[in-house]
Structure 1
Amino acid sequence: MSPSSAAAARTPAKKSTATKTAKKTAKSPRKTAKKKPKWIFGPIPQDILSPANFRPEPKAPEAPSICDLTRLEYVVANPALYEVAATVFPPKIRKGPGRPARYPPYIYLIYLICIAIYDSSRRTDATLRHPDTWKAVCVGVRRQLGDKEADALPNRGPSRDQWNDFYSDHLHPAVHEFRKASRDVWIQQAIALGMLSQKRKRGDWLRPHRSQVINGDGTVVRPPSDQTEEYEKDEKSGEIRYHRVDHDAGIQVEGDDNIIYGKKIVAFSVRQEAKCHSRFILNADNARHRSPEQDPEREEEATTAVRLTHEILDRAPGVIAASYDTAWRGKHRAPLIRRGLIVFTRQHSGITPHPLKKYQYEKSECSHDVYAAGGRACERRLTVDGKTMYNPLPVRELLVREGKSGWRFYHSIEISCRNGPHTELIAVYEKEEDSAIDPRTKRMKFNRTEHLRQIPPDTLYGDRLLGMRQDSESSNSTLDYSHWDKRVPMYGAEGALLGYLGYAWMINSIALATAGSP
């Protein structure tokens, strides 16, 4: 069976007993009722994190629909596609024993991208072999590579058999080189369009411009088949049937507790403010699957996302902020903060308040217990009912300093007092003394970046960054609906990554072509 064939996968398959058991096991930990906290979180104060003059983001106009032929024209007009093809697949692959290749490598990359346009390799085969569609491809090649290259192309597009041969012999073995080459040109094109700008005049630490904020998310790519057993015996006839199985697929639990059988892909994107069709995917890679029992905190996804973020920062130093979901914990945020990045995630459930310091002032003869709760510094107080309340302290300034060991971020907080307010500095980055191992517990003395945030959630600026992250969910939904039955027609983790890279090339080519339009 060819790697891109999904015909057999279109028949619903029986789930094995092991798969059903794994799904029940994945569901069971999330069915436990959440215990209500025994403490109260006070009201969010009006400060620099939630200013009175805050204005929400302007809404983008409704995105106009783009027909499939126009999408194809945008793809073949992307000059970076031909550069990547020449870099990853040099001309020598067309020489050697056997029949010479009829099509240059960039044609097969166009075929890969067209799977996301026409939803399957079967429809891509039929569409590219149509004279009108193939003429659009030749016109794009002529504009990018000249008349000689365009005249050398055959009279119609490659067949599915030719695509399968190139996929298995050249494209699949070079998936990681193709990913890296695509990442580099995507970031360069995004910078050329004015995104990821190094000029911080377009935004500041508290409110970075949308084009300086990268948004990441993990999504589950469904395989062509849900079969989990290679051989199945018919109970009546005794016939042994063979099924194609995706051995890299597994039970995945998404953020909304939805259980999907597939492979995890992590990606980061950026977009312009109030402009439709401006999303630009910057980086993507697969996260090897481990069962929910072995990886309950989605560690593999989190470490992959951190690595992809570092790759972007190495090539686009103008990035100011990054947002992700709760798969990022304190240990994942700490190295990114040291690189001068504002890292925003929602507060992970189950984090209890942690004592920071008890401030005692001799002149005013007062003391204040300051705790970390809800991602920010709070003062611990007792209510008239005898309950514990953590009252968020106003943040008057976000101080940012650059040092030899990395960037340092501080909250200048104000502690209200009957004798007059007190001002203190609270570090919201991982300090050296925090990362020291406690000989008694064998753990870090204080996981500061787990309890404190540069921009805490439930603030106006935090809600702004949270709203930007929804763009990742939109991108994942578009990926699903770009393929037949919401399945990428390629087996294996590398196959799923290739399918996502083809989809990303389509999205980026549209953003590049429509950059001048409103």
Structure 2
Amino acid sequence: MLGIFGSARKTAAAMADTAYWQLIIDGVTSRLGPAEALCLPARGPSRNMWNWHSKRLHPYLPSLQEEFRRLAAYQAREAGYADPGQTRSMTAPGRGQFVVGDGAVPASPVRGPGSKTKSKKKHAREKKEPGSAESDGGSAATGGESPKVAEDEPQANPRRKDPGAGWHVEGGEEEDGGHRVFGPKFVLTSVRDDRPLSRIVLDVRYQRPGKGYGGEAALAVSMLMDAAARLPGLTGACWDGALREIHRDQLMKAGLLIVSPQHDGIAPRRIALVTGCPCGNRHDLWSKGGALREAESLDTGEIHLTPTTGSRLEPCGGRRHRWYLLTRLSCGNTHRERLDTTREDHRRGLNRTEHLRQHPPDTDSYIHCYRWRPDAESLNAQLDATLWNRRMIAYGAPQQTLVMLALAQNALTRHLHHRQAPSTTRQERAPP
């Protein structure tokens, strides 16, 4: 119920209400039987009870997270997402076959070290109405100048500290307009279809501050690989620019179609020199903007990169996939170019997956898939709106992870799914 009311205090107040508590007793009766329901007290637990008993769950967090993933995958299969029996299209996949993910940083309950806050004098000065004698820079009583107010002063050390929080950057890199946020960071993945309120959160993992271990991208690879193993019909995933060449290469070799934006500042790079074409000519292939292009020498001596036409993705392989791009050269013949990184690429220092994309930006397939990416931002906004005062309601990574696992999104989705299902299948079943 923390994911419904947004704070432990509101939850405890609601569970003290007999109407809410009876709903919980009815739920326990339907799931665990009347004998277990009779063991419950006459009223719900208080906030202090939750704070004390929840700490006893910390050693079992890995098991709780694993069970969360298992039940989420079961719910996704029950709703028809990532159905292995459906046709997997590489150019126009269904929305229910794609996972979206992103990192979320709820604000910490305390201010970060080094944060600055306005002094009381400056805050009082800004609250005064414009046009008053005091706000005009003079004193009405003496006619002299107002006393100088203190500049921004560093906040004193807070009485409580949040060991799970750290400084993170949201909205891209700091030099590209991103802003710093102090709080715990979690990486979330979800899947949904085009129906309203159909989102299912597949995984939630805590990200430690710092970049020495891979950060968000390393967690994204692990989470998407786990989702692909649990959902055999999964086609691909949408992510932001956090995924780089090494991460996309791992996911591509796992058989996933990865749609993410191209990083700025990536210069064109020669990919291959085709010498065995039946036309007898050589074709110089380069990359630009994530797409494969053919170089042509102009009369002025400059090199012009012409986009290739008729491109088609061709995945092949079993446990370890290889991705190829079938494209038409300027002579009309078809060329087959590898998209994932090869041993030869490592030898020549070519980051192939950084220069070539399965679906380059501005293509119809990219636009078709990447339009689902804002759903991850919608989930982050929903998280902020749920938490009281738009801040995390717990201290420390273990306790904050418990709060994230308590989000009621999947419960709401499952309830609506069973309510909208035909009457023959409307009866709710407990997951295995």
TM-score (norm 1): 0.68
Look up the match of 1:199: 85
Q: Displacement, 1:222?
A: 1.6
**Separation in 2 of the partners of 1:221 and 1:176?**
22
**Separation in 1 of the partners of 2:26 and 2:309?**
61
Change (3 A) 1:433 1:490: same
**Which residue identity does 1:254 align to in structure 2?**
E
Q: Displacement, 1:194?
A: 1.0
Look up the match of 1:264: 185
Q: Is the 8 A contact 1:227 1:244 kept in 2?
A: no
**Separation in 1 of the partners of 2:200 and 2:278?**
57
Provide the secondary structure at the position in 2 that maps to 1:248.
coil
Change (3 A) 1:247 1:383: farther
Look up the match of 1:288: 208
**Which residue identity does 1:407 align to in structure 2?**
H
Query: What are the Cα deviations for residues 27-57 of structure 1, in whole angstroms up to 9, with x where unaligned?
Result: xxxxxxxxxxxxxxxxxxxxxxxxxxxxxxx
Aligned counterparts, 1:439-454, within 5 A: 445-454=349-358
2:223 corresponds, among 308, 317, 322, to 308
Look up the match of 1:472: 376
Query: What are the Cα deviations for residues 273-321 of structure 1, in whole angstroms up to 9, with x where unaligned?
Result: x20111001111011111xxx66xx931110111111222222222111
Look up the match of 1:276: 196
Q: Which runs of 5+ in 2 are unaligned?
A: 120-155, 173-177, 422-432
Provide the secondary structure at the position in 2 that maps to 1:475.
helix
Q: Is the 8 A contact 1:221 1:496 kept in 2?
A: no
Q: Is the 8 A contact 1:358 1:370 kept in 2?
A: yes
Look up the match of 1:429: 340
Query: What are the Cα deviations for residues 85-115 of structure 1, in whole angstroms up to 9, with x where unaligned?
Result: xxxxxxxxxxxxxxxxxxxxxxxxxxxxx12
Q: Does 1:509 align with 2:411?
A: yes
Q: Does 1:126 align with 2:28?
A: no
Aligned counterparts, 1:238-257, within 5 A: 243-256=159-172, 257=178
Q: Is the 8 A contact 1:411 1:426 kept in 2?
A: yes
Provide the secondary structure at the position in 2 that maps to 1:285.
strand
Q: CA-atom RMSD, angstroms?
A: 2.5
**Separation in 1 of the partners of 2:384 and 2:289?**
35
Look up the match of 1:216: 101
Query: What are the Cα deviations for residues 3-24 of structure 1, in whole angstroms up to 9, with x where unaligned?
Result: xxxxxxxxxxxxxxxxxxxxxx
Aligned counterparts, 1:310-459, within 5 A: 310-360=225-275, 364=279, 366-381=281-296, 388-403=303-318, 406-417=320-331, 421-436=332-347, 445-459=349-363
Q: Displacement, 1:135?
A: 1.4
Look up the match of 1:188: 74
Q: Is the 8 A contact 1:222 1:260 kept in 2?
A: yes
Q: Displacement, 1:245?
A: 1.1
Provide the secondary structure at the position in 2 that maps to 1:217.
strand
**Separation in 2 of the partners of 1:363 and 1:173?**
65
**Separation in 1 of the partners of 2:42 and 2:50?**
16
**Separation in 2 of the partners of 1:314 and 1:485?**
38
Q: Displacement, 1:495?
A: 2.5
Change (3 A) 1:362 1:330: closer
**Separation in 2 of the partners of 1:486 and 1:242?**
19
Query: What are the Cα deviations for residues 372-413 of structure 1, in whole angstroms up to 9, with x where unaligned?
Result: 111121123467887654322113422221157x11111111
Q: Is the 8 A contact 1:211 1:270 kept in 2?
A: yes
Change (3 A) 1:188 1:363: closer
Change (3 A) 1:362 1:125: closer
Look up the match of 2:51: 164
Provide the secondary structure at the position in 1 that maps to 2:406.
helix
Q: Is the 8 A contact 1:339 1:407 kept in 2?
A: yes
Provide the secondary structure at the position in 2 that maps to 1:125.
helix
Q: Displacement, 1:446?
A: 1.6
Look up the match of 2:34: 147
Aligned counterparts, 1:82-101, within 5 A: none
Moved more, 281-290 or 364-373: 364-373
**Separation in 1 of the partners of 2:106 and 2:310?**
42
Change (3 A) 1:330 1:172: same
Change (3 A) 1:288 1:414: same
Q: Which structure: larger Rg? A: 2
Q: Displacement, 1:342?
A: 0.8
Q: Is the 8 A contact 1:299 1:327 kept in 2?
A: no
Percent identity between the two aligned chains: 31
**Separation in 2 of the partners of 1:361 and 1:314?**
40
Q: Is the 8 A contact 2:113 2:157 kept in 1?
A: no
**Separation in 2 of the partners of 1:357 and 1:190?**
42
Change (3 A) 1:363 1:338: closer
**Separation in 1 of the partners of 2:163 and 2:384?**
21
**Which residue identity does 1:369 align to in structure 2?**
D
Q: Displacement, 1:496?
A: 2.4
Change (3 A) 1:128 1:384: farther
Q: Displacement, 1:176?
A: 2.2
Aligned counterparts, 1:44-83, within 5 A: none
**Separation in 2 of the partners of 1:333 and 1:432?**
16
